[in-house]
């Protein structure tokens, strides 16, 4: 057996991804594969077997995970709340993937502030930050000048209504 193995997680009897699961899917399936895709082990867990009180607790933990997913690099706690609000709106709308929500901010206020202060685009800042180790990146993003502008950006985002702002780009067909 190789030292490099991967684990896949699927849901339901048709073993779909989480975003394709429906309300009747109760299975969570973990499969471990070797590097040559040889199946090493599979475990299936049916949530119906869990007592109802723990089903609720597991669901609450899952909501917590979904709301906080993807913001571990964000150190500004208020910005984290903004990201969580965006994910909550997404879940309430019936959507699953953050990219599908129009008007959702997927860039932290600190990264946006750094882009403005450095006269770089957001993708350029993200690429530049990727070249630093985590501690240096955090030092840059938590710098006084960056954080002061990030707070202004976060406040502006909270009060911003973008409804109709892009209507002029609607197709004329």
Q: Scanning the structure block, which residue is given the tokens 């993937």? A: 97
Name, in order, each residue with C-beta under 8 angstroms of 78's C-beta and a sequence gap of 6 or more.
Answer: 151, 154
Could you read off the pLDDT tens digit of each residue along the chain, which spans 173 residues?
A: 446 788 888 887 776 677 677 777 888 889 999 888 899 999 999 999 999 999 889 889 888 888 887 666 677 788 888 888 888 887 777 666 654 334 445 678 888 999 999 999 888 888 888 888 878 888 999 999 999 999 999 888 877 777 778 788 887 65
28: tokens are 């969570």
CA-to-CA distance for 37 and 173, rounded, in angstroms? 48
**pLDDT at site 162:** 74
Q: Scanning the structure block, which residue is given the tokens 């991804």? A: 17
**pLDDT at site 7:** 86
Q: Is the pTM of this model over 0.85?
A: no
**pLDDT at site 41:** 92
Sequence spans of domains, the chain: 8-49, 71-169
């Amino acid at each position: 057996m190789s030292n490099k193995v991967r684990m896949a997680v699927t849901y339901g009897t048709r073993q779909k991804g989480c975003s394709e699961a429906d309300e009747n899917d109760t299975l969570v399936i973990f499969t471990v594969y070797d590097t040559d895709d040889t199946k090493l082990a599979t475990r299936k867990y049916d949530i119906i077997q869990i007592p109802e009180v723990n089903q609720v607790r597991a669901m609450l933990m899952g909501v917590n995970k979904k709301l906080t997913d993807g913001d571990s690099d964000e150190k500004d706690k208020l910005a984290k709340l903004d990201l969580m609000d965006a994910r909550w709106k997404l879940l309430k709308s019936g959507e699953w993937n953050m990219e599908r929500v129009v008007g959702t901010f997927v860039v932290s206020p600190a990264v946006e502030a750094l882009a403005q202060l450095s006269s770089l685009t957001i993708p350029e800042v993200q690429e530049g930050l990727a070249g630093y180790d985590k501690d240096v990146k955090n030092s840059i993003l938590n710098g006084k000048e960056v954080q002061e502008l990030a707070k202004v950006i976060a406040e502006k985002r909270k009060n911003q209504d973008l409804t109709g702002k892009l209507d002029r780009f609607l197709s004329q067909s």
